[in-house]
């Protein structure tokens, strides 16, 4: 089969990943703490986090976003600005803040090719009251990259915090916390960095304070307790997942070094070819740069039927709402899209196979 749902979860994993998971399960329990520390340090190094004690591993990026967004010290009437392309893992907790904490949400409207308009962002920031700018680094629907560094800098210029949800970029593009300097960075382990399911994380810059009503983690209180991350490891740690994620990251910096760039090139080639096909609507411009993800619709093939259609041709892709209803509204396709997302093991022939299947779905004579 041709697996092209890597924006959902990457598959298969490099052999080193299941080996590390199995190694962690087989290891003597007495070694668990040292192994966890080593995996944690490896993960921090991959993200160029200079303060590993401020890197919290969570069961998912969804969990990391839920903790970060719920536990900032909110005040009534604080404004949270997001892009219009957010995954529900970010949009959901923001909606809860609006409902429960009197926060105002201001999404910045989307234009194809301009996933986040910096002039509009500047206008909203000048309006005052913005506590947090929280954006995905790339759309999980269209694959478009947001101008993250400019967003972080603009937020800081106007005294706002900035959260970057890097679930779609870590592993596919360099994500360097020390250089980017967001206030909060969240990531998913099972996507680009090739880890197993069940792990993600967040890094919070020094000075970022969390209230911890959930008692998952209080980074500022960490100093008074055992050093972070031990303080935050509530109950048993997911050592197998941490070890697998560390192995995935090592693979990406070693034998797999060229693979993410190749995956992104495949996506660009597919997007360009789809853009020229009558009867196909391509979402997201080609100007903003993209991850390895391409979304489209075929006029003659309902989105709900597309997964089965492609599966019959041994192509496993995702045709649905992609857990991002707000992004689907923004791009004008509330019913979903067909999404092809390449990974480190895809090759040019996979693009050809997808295009051949698309051509079969387009009625002859178009």
Residues found near ligand PLP in the complex (CB under 6 A): 60-62, 87, 89, 136, 140, 165, 167-168, 188, 200, 323
**Dihedral of CA 234/175/13/10: which sign?**
positive
User: Beta strand pairing status for 79-83 and 55-58?
Assistant: unpaired
DSSP string, 215-257: -S--TTGGGGSSPTTGGG--SS--HHHHHHHHHHHHHHHTTTT
Q: Is the distance from CB of 290 to CB of 142 less than 8 angstroms?
A: yes
d(C-alpha 303, C-alpha 318), whole Å: 10
Nearer to ligand PLP by Cβ, of 63 and 222: the residue is: 63
Least distance to ligand PLP, CB of residue 197, Å = 8
Nearer to ligand PLP by Cβ, of 87 and 131: the residue is: 87
d(C-alpha 63, C-alpha 295), whole Å: 26
**Dihedral of CA 63/72/162/51: which sign?**
negative
Please provide the distance, in angstroms rounded to a whole number, between the alpha carbons at the two ends of the chain.
Answer: 29
Least distance to ligand PLP, CB of residue 292, Å = 13
Least distance to ligand PLP, CB of residue 167, Å = 3
Nearer to ligand PLP by Cβ, of 16 and 167: the residue is: 167
Beta strand ranges found along the chain (DSSP E): 2-3, 55-58, 79-83, 104-108, 130-136, 161-165, 184-188, 200-204, 280-283, 293-298, 315-316, 318-320, 337-341
Close Cβ partners of 276 (under 8 Å, ≥ 6 residues apart): none
Nearer to ligand PLP by Cβ, of 323 and 353: the residue is: 323
Least distance to ligand PLP, CB of residue 187, Å = 8
Least distance to ligand PLP, CB of residue 40, Å = 17
Least distance to ligand PLP, CB of residue 188, Å = 3
Nearer to ligand PLP by Cβ, of 222 and 284: the residue is: 284
Nearer to ligand PLP by Cβ, of 62 and 333: the residue is: 62
Least distance to ligand PLP, CB of residue 9, Å = 7
Nearer to ligand PLP by Cβ, of 27 and 323: the residue is: 323
């Amino acid at each position: 089969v041709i697996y092209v749902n890597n924006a959902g979860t990457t598959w298969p994993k490099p052999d080193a990943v299941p080996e590390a998971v199995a190694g962690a399960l087989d290891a003597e329990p007495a070694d668990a703490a040292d192994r966890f520390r080593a995996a944690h340090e490896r993960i921090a190094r991959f993200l160029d986090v200079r303060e590993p004690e401020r890197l919290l591993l969570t069961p998912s990026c969804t969990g990391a976003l839920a903790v970060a967004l719920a536990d900032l010290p909110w005040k009534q009437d604080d404004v949270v600005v997001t892009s219009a392309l957010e995954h529900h893992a970010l949009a959901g907790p923001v909606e809860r803040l609006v409902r429960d904490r009197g926060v105002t949400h201001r999404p910045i409207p989307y234009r194809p090719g301009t996933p986040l308009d910096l002039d509009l962002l500047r206008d909203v920031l000048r309006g005052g009251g913005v506590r947090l700018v929280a954006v995905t680094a790339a759309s999980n629907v269209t694959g478009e990259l947001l101008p993250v560094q400019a967003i972080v800098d603009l937020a800081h210029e106007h005294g706002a915090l900035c959260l970057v949800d890097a679930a779609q970029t870590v592993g596919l593009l360099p994500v360097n916390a020390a250089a980017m300097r967001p206030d909060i960075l969240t990531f998913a382990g099972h996507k680009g960095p090739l880890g197993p399911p069940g792990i993600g994380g967040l890094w919070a810059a020094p000075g970022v304070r969390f209230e911890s009503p959930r008692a998952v983690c209080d980074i500022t209180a960490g100093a008074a307790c055992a050093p972070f991350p031990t303080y935050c490891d509530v109950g048993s740690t997911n050592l197998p997942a941490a070890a697998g994620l560390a192995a995935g990251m090592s693979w990406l910096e070693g034998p797999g070094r060229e693979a993410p760039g190749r995956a992104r090139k495949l996506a660009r080639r597919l997007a360009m070819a789809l853009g020229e096909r009558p009867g196909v609507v391509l979402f997201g411009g080609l100007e903003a740069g993209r991850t390895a993800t391409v979304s489209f619709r075929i006029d003659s093939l309902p989105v709900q039927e597309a997964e089965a259609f492609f599966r019959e041709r041994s192509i496993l892709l995702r045709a649905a709402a992609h857990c991002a209803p707000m992004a689907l509204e923004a791009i004008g396709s509330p019913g979903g899209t067909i999404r092809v997302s390449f990974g480190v093991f895809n090759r040019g022939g996979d693009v050809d196979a997808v295009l051949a299947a698309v051509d079969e779905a387009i009625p002859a004579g178009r």
